[in-house]
Structure 1
Amino acid sequence: MRVLVIGSGGFIGSHVADTLEATCDVVRADIFPSDAKDFVCYDKDNPDYAHLLRSIAPDVCINCSGAASVPASLSDPQHDYLLNARRVIEMLEAIRVNSPGTRFVHLSSAAVYGNPAVMPVTEAAPAAPVSPYGWHKYYAELACREYFEQFGVRSVSLRIFSAYGPGLRKQLFWDVYGRARGQEVLELFGTGGETRDFIFIDDLVSCIALILQSDVFDGRAVNVASGVSVPIEQAVTTLLAHLDWHPKLAFSGSARQGDPMQWQADISSLTKLGFEPKYDIVSGLRKVAVWLKEQN
């Protein structure tokens, strides 16, 4: 199977490419030059997806590119729309015209749910984003459905919940690592009782590998998560214990705009494909802590 990974230099993209190359013919593509084998560099302002699709003719195109910051989407929603919605439409059009046999994997986000009324949240729950980022991910999902129903472009949108693991230099655990060193008190947003459904990067990549072997490429969306709800305070305390750091935790009580309160995914769609998470929050954060200790 020939697989094109767009955004192969990012956190998820690099793990996907590294893992799949053991069993697939992987071509990596990103906006930054790389000396990686079978790599293509494309222009970030004028990406020529048509040329990529014509020259590579992949069986599958996995889009791991785009923006991944809720605060940035609030400060510059137009730029977030460009990266998370318009670019996906451009990829779909390039497939339609230049490589109609290519299947498309769109990495969406649980942000499309906003604050779900019922949990665990199923893919049938209504979209109710609370940030431009969430809206733009949802627009891209709608484009995937449109291109399947109108043009037969086979696609699937993966609603990824809170992905984490070694190599992720942003978001909660990286922020905690950077701010907690040598401190007696660590203050974080919220109450600590907010929950997330964390999925370790190795489990996430296993999900994608299962998806590639499935017949779900009909424009649908699929939850990608562990299926377990973990309070933020518990997750942070677990990481700090692995690091052997013991600051006192304090929470501001005020949430950041665009942040959901509670998340837990129904992963029935994945389990029907044979998925079973190998990492819980304790074992996953143990690996994260080992990696963090190696950083300066």
Structure 2
Amino acid sequence: MSLRVLLLPPNPSAALLEAVAPKGIDVEVTRLFEHTPDALRAALPNCDIIVGDWSGQLRLGDTEAALARDAALVQQPTAGVETIDLDAWARRGVPVANIGPANSWSVTEWCLGATMNLLRSYRWADAEVRNGRWPQLDILEHARPRELRGSRVGVVGAGQVGSRLCGMYSALGCDVSYWSPRSRIAEAAWRSLPELLSTSDLVIIAIARTPDTLGLVDRAAVAALPVDAILIDVSRGGIVDQEAVLGRVRDRTMAGAALDVFGTEPPQLDPQVIAEQNVLFSPHVAGVTGNSVAAQVGTVRDNIVAVATGKPLVHVLNR
């Protein structure tokens, strides 16, 4: 009998399509006829493995867990599992796995690139040269470039990405601290969230979205950021009040912001914000490189093979 795989992403890559049908394993892959909760629920009784939706539109909660009576695995093809009720699937005895650290280096390096872009005003300098100007000294007044070394860096989150961020920025000569409600990082100092936000030159938000972290960095928290602070958000939409951040950047009371995630994706951006050269926007691709995608789909493939062959699963989150 074929292993029945229900593939939920509406736009799976060729690599993911290949990963969910590993060579040597008899697999029958099904996709939804429409990307809706009703279509999902209709398909759930007839699958052994569910490959989760990375668009964030389809939730896998109590109702879905009850319908998936034959399911042996829910495999999320990303790191984030905020649309999956881990406890609901645990109560049904179904493991939920993600990709583990597959894209953590990609996200970490993206943060470094965004940091340097904003600290050294790459976009401003590029635009000046493209427009026929050569402002070698004017940059000090108009863009206020700074060195990274010696900066106070505050990381919100202590998972795979948060831990790598702390190690990388420490190695680059920064004074690094972090906040996390649970996890701990030996290489950096833990600070309360209000203290971290009010004393950091660079704040990086790299924490999972949960009911406890929604609205974590609200308008009041953003207001506490120092003048000339930079904020980088690679978490999930809804954790940071991004409107408050962008408002401070427009008012020149923050040095800049880099946003890879948004509450609504794609976002509806204010034309005034679009014109800001000290704001960097990215379409939720901080973790997307050839290396990371290969590692992500490799994890999906390996866990499907594990179900088929009775081997242990990796990166299970709800044991």
- State the TM-score, normalizing by the size of structure 1: 0.38
Which is richer in helix?
1
Which protein shows a greater Rg? 2
- State the TM-score, normalizing by the size of structure 2: 0.36
